[in-house]
């Protein structure tokens, strides 16, 4: 991506990091005593869910299952029930499966190698690198949507980032990280925090931004986005996700298996509800009993 007015990379990162150290939110998975498991659980929860909704659920999970071994010994259904209304409950099933893998293959310790983390259920490139950086203080680029947006604006001079290009995104982020792993870890937190609180998708709060004076987008006169419109999240109302959520909520509320009719009653779209139930079974979030009823696994 061409840079109309590239900031001096270290000065830029240093300014964002200084702001972060002064303004950061007090989040338990960022604390010095956070365990690799605590960081991993937080990354699963934060994949699709906002921090304020994750916080109470993270505490609840860490009280119930403070180590991978504790979660591995629980049933998958227990994990899915405890996920509650956090959304995208496949994450709970994956986290449970990952805990079992960690116990079977890594002696109950979250691994600290990229290839080992990528082999765990539900862990993609972003989550693996985030765990290496935030839990093990290794130096890697951690690129989420917030980081991509900050770099696109502050360094690229564009209102919006283009479509993800993992290799280029990693290279561009790595280029502005300090060499020292601990400073790079703070810089990664800082870039994410700036994108979450100041340089947001909804608006860029440039007036209160700590790097406004070195921002390429501001220097270029804050040009409007000229590319394709960023994809908006699909409507929840009336969606398959909503239909799945309705069924999951009934399964979570019952300690017993539930008849199909009871699960699908009141469904505004019967066909959609049946499709949603079949997809939950296919995803391993619900199982059909011998009696033809349904329950959590």
Q: Which of 43, 105, 174, 182 is catalytic?
A: 43
d(CA 208, CA 204): 9
Pattern 166-205, binding to ligand SF4, x per CB under 6 A? --------------------------------xx----xx
d(CA 222, CA 224): 6
Contact 26, 190 (CB under 8 A): no
Residue 285 sits in the site that holds ligand SF4 (CB under 6 A): no
Token duo for residue 181: 């792993």
Least distance between ligand SF4 and beta carbon 43 (Å): 24
Among 69, 138, 212, 279, binds ligand SF4 (CB under 6 A): 212
Least distance between ligand SF4 and beta carbon 170 (Å): 20
Q: Which residue has the tokens 């209304």?
A: 85
Least distance between ligand SF4 and beta carbon 47 (Å): 23
Judged by DSSP in three states, 288 sits in: strand
Task: Give the number of other Cβ atoms within 10 Å of residue 249's Cβ.
Answer: 11
- Using CB under 6 A, which residues numbered 213 to 232 contact ligand SF4? 215, 217-218
- Closer residue to ligand SF4 in complex, CB, 29/217: 217
Least distance between ligand SF4 and beta carbon 220 (Å): 10
- Closer residue to ligand SF4 in complex, CB, 23/35: 23
Name residue 287's beta-bridge partners: 295
- Closer residue to ligand SF4 in complex, CB, 71/215: 215
d(CA 67, CA 102): 10
| Nearest residue to 145 (alpha-carbon basis) of 201, 186, 198, 189 | 201
Least distance between ligand SF4 and beta carbon 3 (Å): 13
Q: Site size for ligand SF4, by CB under 6 A? A: 14
d(CA 291, CA 250): 18
d(CA 138, CA 141): 10
Among 45, 72, 209, 273, binds ligand SF4 (CB under 6 A): 209
- Using CB under 6 A, which residues numbered 80 to 139 contact ligand SF4? none
Residues 6+ apart with CB under 8 A from 201: 145, 149, 230
Residue 211 sits in the site that holds ligand SF4 (CB under 6 A): yes
d(CA 225, CA 276): 37
Least distance between ligand SF4 and beta carbon 199 (Å): 3
Among 71, 79, 102, 154, binds ligand SF4 (CB under 6 A): 154
Contact 244, 276 (CB under 8 A): yes
The yes-or-no answer on residue 182 being catalytic is no
Q: Residue 227's Cα: distance from chain center in Å?
A: 26
Task: List residues binding ligand SF4 (CB under 6 A).
Answer: 150, 153-154, 198-199, 204-206, 209, 211-212, 215, 217-218
Q: Residues with catalytic annotation?
A: 43
């Amino acid at each position: 991506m061409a840079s109309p007015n590239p900031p001096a990379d270290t000065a830029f990162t240093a300014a964002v990091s200084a702001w972060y150290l002064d303004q950061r939110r007090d989040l338990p998975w960022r604390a010095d005593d956070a365990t690799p498991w605590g960081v991993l659980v937080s990354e699963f929860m934060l994949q699709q869910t906002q921090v304020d909704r994750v916080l109470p659920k993270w505490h609840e999970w860490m009280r119930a299952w403070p180590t991978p071994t504790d979660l591995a010994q629980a049933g998958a259904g227990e994990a899915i029930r405890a996920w509650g209304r956090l959304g995208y409950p496949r994450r709970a099933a994956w986290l449970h499966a990952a805990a079992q893998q960690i116990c079977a293959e890594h002696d109950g310790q979250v691994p600290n190698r990229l290839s080992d983390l990528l082999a765990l259920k539900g862990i993609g490139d972003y989550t693996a690198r985030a765990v290496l950086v935030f839990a093990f203080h290794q130096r890697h680029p951690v690129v989420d949507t917030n980081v991509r947006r900050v770099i696109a604006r502050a360094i690229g001079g564009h209102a919006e980032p283009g479509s993800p290009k993992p290799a280029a995104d990693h290279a561009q982020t790595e280029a502005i990280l300090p060499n020292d792993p601990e400073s790079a870890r703070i810089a990664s937190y800082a870039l994410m925090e700036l994108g979450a609180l100041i340089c947001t998708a909804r608006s860029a709060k440039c007036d209160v931004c700590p790097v406004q004076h070195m921002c390429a987008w501001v220097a270029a006169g804050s040009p409007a986005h000229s590319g394709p419109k960023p994809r908006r999240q699909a409507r929840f109302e009336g969606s398959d996700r909503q239909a799945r959520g309705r069924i999951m909520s009934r399964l979570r509320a019952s300690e017993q298996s539930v008849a199909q009719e009871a699960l699908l009653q009141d469904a505004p779209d019967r066909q959609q509800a049946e499709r949603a139930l079949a997809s939950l079974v296919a995803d391993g979030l619900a199982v059909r009993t011998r009696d033809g009823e349904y329950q959590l696994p």
